[in-house]
Structures are given as C-alpha cells and as structure tokens.
Structure 1
Amino acid sequence: MDPRALPPRLVIDPSLPPDLSVELRSSPHVLRLARSGWRMESSRNLTWLFVVPGLLMLLWMTAGTAPAVVTAIGAAVIGLLRWLTSAYHRDTRRKLRLAYEHADRYILPEDLDYPCQVLLRRAQRAAETILGSRVHRAGLIDTIDNRVTLPEEVWQIAQRLRKLSAMHAEHSKIVPKELPTGLQDAFKPYSTALDAAWTSLSKRVRNLEQYAKQVVKADKVFHAHQRLEALAARTPDYQALIADTVRDDLARAHLRELTEQARQARELFEESIHEARRAAGELLRPPHA
C-alpha cells in the first residue's frame, strides 16, 4: 500500500511523562472508547457462572468422573475466571480513567476530517524521514535538537488541525448549502478565516517537508562521502599504481585529478549539510512569518 494513502498515527503530547505516554499509546482502543464517551459499567457478566457448571455436568455424565473431582475442578475454574475477569476490568478501568483525565493530550485520526488527516500524515512522514536519516544519527544536523523539536512540531500541527476539523464540521452545519441572494458576502469572512488557517498550516507542513528533502539530499552526499573516505585511505596504493604504470607527467596529472575530486566531494557534502541546517531553521520561525 502507498504510504501516502495511510491514515495518520496517534499523536501524543511530547511533554507528557514517558511512562504515561507509553501507557496511552499502548491502548488506542481505550482512547477511542473515551473519546466516544463510553463508561465502564461496574456490573459483571455472570454468564460464565451458568456455563461452567453446565460443562462440568457434561464432563461428569460422559466421563464418569467422580463428583468430588468435578466439584474441585469446577471451583478451580470458577476461581480462575473470576480472577482473570477482575484483573481485566481493573486494568481497563484504570486505562479508561487515564484516557479521560488526559483527553486533551492525545489526538486520534478520527479527530480529524480527511483533508486534515492527509496533512498530518505528511508532517509525520517528514519527521520520520529526518529522524531516520544517517546525518541525524551521526549528529551532523544539530542546529536544533530534532528529537525534541520535531515531535513538538508534529504535536502543534496536530492540535491546530483538530481545531480546524471541528470548526469545519461546525461551519458545514451552520452555513446553508444554498445561500439566499445577497447574503453570500455576510458569510464569506468566516469561510475566509478557515481558508487562511488551512493555508498557514499547509505552509508549516511544507517547511517541514522542505527540511526533510534537504536531509535526504544530505544523506545521499554523506553516503558518497563515506565511500570517498574509504578510498582516500587507500590513496598511497593508487599513487603507487599510477607511478608504476604511467609516465611521471601523467602521474602528476592523475594525482591532481584525485585531489580535486576529493575537494569537490567534500564541498558538496558541506553544502548539503548547510542546506539541511538552513531548512531546519525555518521551523523556528513563527507560522505567520
């Protein structure tokens, strides 16, 4: 499947404590239940109290097992089921409570309309590209701390997209599809405000994608640079080869060519790193800049 067609992933406020973030991220189905307003009833499903004795009675009748043995097995099974059910309910109730307490600290794909989902997915994909790059892992694009700034940037974008989605839905309910003659101008400022917010968020995501594009370019040059460094370590072998096989004047020309190629590769690598850092700086500018 084309990654661009996938929905965005769950986004959690990066300022939350790590243990709480892991807890919320581990149970997206519970977060969805909380978002829908679902409450866990305290009543228990007692169906198994009737099913288990029936199965034990069948065992006793078909296998001829002694009643005392059947009773012991039944008591053990009922006790185990009660313990498992109780543990599951406690864990689910605890996670549901956390989901309600921190309802404004996570954003589900369902919180966004389709256009906003697509925009958030683009932002997440750009951040993944940057954090997964060789130059990031090598610490070569350290103008900002990507591990801190990028999750925060995606979170800020997701928050604004959620608000925009809600206002889109509200606007669609309030504004009639067919406006009476002469009233179009009265509604226009509200539509314009939504369009302006969308344009601003789109620009913010494009800045993030531009940074990712420069990082990809730097990654390719970095890979070639590493190969060149490996060859540079064998320069004496190449010098000896040239000296043994061609005349002195050609040897000097070949050596100058090797040196020039190495210089150009290094300059290209340094330029690509500079461009990636410049693109990263765009993320620090205010959205209205």
Structure 2
Amino acid sequence: MSLSYLPDSAHPRVAVDPAVPAEDRRALRENQDVLTPATSPVPGRLHVLLGGSVVRLIRKYHGRYIVAADLDPDAKILLCRAQEAIDTVLESEVNKAGLLDGIDNALTLPAEEWEIAQTLMTHSRMREEQRRLRASDLTPMEKSRFAPQREALRRSVAAVTERVEALEKYAASTAAADAVYRREQLRNLPPPDNSAEILELEQRNEAYEELLARTVAHELAAERIEELAEDASEIESALRHAADAARRVGDTSTP
C-alpha cells in the first residue's frame, strides 16, 4: 500500500556507495544537508571553483550517494526502516564481540543499504512516471498497454519490502541476543569490593549516635513543652473560673 498520502515525516540519512573511501564517506555524511541530489544535475566547474572542498566532493561522487530528496515518501519510509535495522545490528554488543555467526556485518550491511537505496530511487522515479501516465490524455486502451510496467514496479517494490523486513527480523534477533549477552556479562562480573565504602560508613557511626542523642533530647524537650502547655492551659482555666466567680459575687452584693 502506498504511503504517499501521509505527511512526509521520514528523513533517512544519506546512503553512500560503500566503495567510496571511508574518509570521503564520512565527509559526505557530515555534509549531507547540502549535497546535490543524485537526481539533480551535477555542479558545474564554476561552482567547484567557488564552492570549495564540499562542492568538489559533490562533483566527484555525484551519483554515488543518495539523499532524501532523491526519494518519494514511500521510498523514504523503507530506507529509514532499513537503516534503523542496520544500525541496531552494527551497534549491538554481540556484533562488536564478533558473535554473529562470522558474518562481516561491517561490509555486508552497508552494501545492503546502498543496494536498497538505489532500487528505492528507481522506484521513486518510476512511480512518478506512472503518475504522469495516469494523468495523461491517453485513452484507457492506450494506457492499458503499460500495465506490464506497473506490474514490474509492483513486484520490485514487494521484493525490496521483503528485503527490508528480513533486515528487521535480523535486527530483532540481534537485539534478543544482545539482551542475553548483557545479562550473562552482568552475571559473570566479580562482586564489587565495597570494603572502603563500608569502613567509611562505619566511621560515621559516632555521628549517628550523636544525632540519636540529640533526637532523644528533642523528644524530651517536646514532652516538656507539651507539659508546659498543659500547665498554661490549666492556669488559664483557673483564672477564668476565678474571674467568673468574682463577677458573680459582685453581682449579688450590689443593692
């Protein structure tokens, strides 16, 4: 199902031909926001003279990298999915430890990404061709002559989607293996030596004993304050009763 009606929110990173030297691949990724799309004309010599090293890099490798602008929304989403799966594998602990069945992921996965990106760029161009064909003034009979083109595109999209899904399954299996690996690593760690911390805490016992003594003093003081409050309340009550009695005596003695 096409996702081209959705907001264009997928932003895959630049895909680079793995045959490009590593230093130049890194430079292309660092400048991916200013790279000329592979589907646009290569910068001219004047631009190279005025633009410096980045433009020279673009001119040298134009067509050997693919940026988001080269892809339609459907293709961007698939490339993002592929890149996320590849990153999951390459960044996993089991991959770094060389435990993934001897597969050289550092070589094979960048090649996978590049092949997928190239095909997705072709899909994007052909979907646009088919869109223009549907909107053309050709008769339905004339348009039907190009049904094999649509079928070829459909089958290719399905094949690339399956390839991306296979990468995602590989990434999920890698993530599961990673969880087990990390758990075993933690289990095999030697117990931490906490003797210095324990000694330091034991040396603080005296301070806590002093705190407890002050706490008892606070509790005793609180009890004493409560007793004083009760005494004050009793005195207040006695004075009130005495005043009332005096008023009553005064009232009875008045002629």
> Into which bin does the TM-score normalised by the smaller protein fall?
0.5 to 0.7
2:48 aligned with 1:13:
no
Question: Match of 1:162?
Answer: 121
2:119 aligned with 1:115:
no
Bigger relative contact order, structure 1 or 2 (CA pairs below 8 A, ≥6 apart): 1
- Count, aligned residues: 183
Q: Distance in 1 between matches of 2:155 and 2:144?
A: 17
Structure 1 counterpart of 2:159, from 184, 200, 216: 200
Structure 2 counterpart of 1:224, from 144, 167, 183: 183
Distance 1:225 1:110, change over 3 A: same
Matches within 5 A, 1:189-268: 189-230=148-189
Alpha-carbon distance, 1:41 to partner: 5.0
Distance 1:104 1:34, change over 3 A: closer
Distance 1:113 1:224, change over 3 A: same
Q: Is the 8 A contact 2:37 2:66 kept in 1?
A: no
Q: Distance in 1 between matches of 2:19 and 2:130?
A: 32
TM-score, scaled to structure 2: 0.63
Tell me the alpha carbon deviations over residues 22-75 of structure 1, each in whole angstroms, 9 at most, x when there is no partner: 332332244227864454758xxxxxxxxxxxxxxxxxxxxxxxxxxxxxxxxx
Distance 1:35 1:157, change over 3 A: closer
Q: Is the 8 A contact 1:30 1:99 kept in 2?
A: no
Matches within 5 A, 1:57-68: none
Distance 1:227 1:20, change over 3 A: closer
Tell me the alpha carbon deviations over residues 212-241 of structure 1, each in whole angstroms, 9 at most, x when there is no partner: 0100111111122223334xx78xxxxxxx
For structure 2, list consecutive stretches of 5 or more residues without a partner in the other structure: 1-8, 192-255
Question: Match of 1:280?
Answer: none
Tell me the alpha carbon deviations over residues 125-167 of structure 1, each in whole angstroms, 9 at most, x when there is no partner: 0000011111111211143101111111111100111111111
Q: Distance in 1 between matches of 2:85 and 2:37?
A: 30
Alpha-carbon distance, 1:182 to partner: 4.6
Question: Match of 2:27?
Answer: 23
Identity of aligned residues (%): 35
Q: Distance in 2 between matches of 1:182 and 1:24?
A: 47
Distance 1:220 1:91, change over 3 A: farther
Question: Match of 1:81?
Answer: none
2:89 aligned with 1:130:
yes
What letter is aligned with 1:105? R
Q: Is the 8 A contact 2:16 2:65 kept in 1?
A: yes
Structure with bigger gyration radius: 2
Q: Is the 8 A contact 2:10 2:73 kept in 1?
A: no
TM-score, scaled to structure 1: 0.56
2:51 aligned with 1:92:
yes
Alpha-carbon distance, 1:21 to partner: 1.9
Question: Match of 1:175?
Answer: 134
Q: Distance in 2 between matches of 1:197 and 1:129?
A: 25
Q: Distance in 2 between matches of 1:144 and 1:209?
A: 16
Alpha-carbon distance, 1:93 to partner: 3.7
Structure 2 counterpart of 1:32, from 19, 27, 36: 36
What letter is aligned with 2:113? V
Residue 11 of structure 2 aligns to a residue whose secondary structure is coil
Distance 1:162 1:35, change over 3 A: closer
Tell me the alpha carbon deviations over residues 85-141 of structure 1, each in whole angstroms, 9 at most, x when there is no partner: xxxx85724432331232111000010000000000000000000111111112111
Q: Is the 8 A contact 2:72 2:124 kept in 1?
A: yes
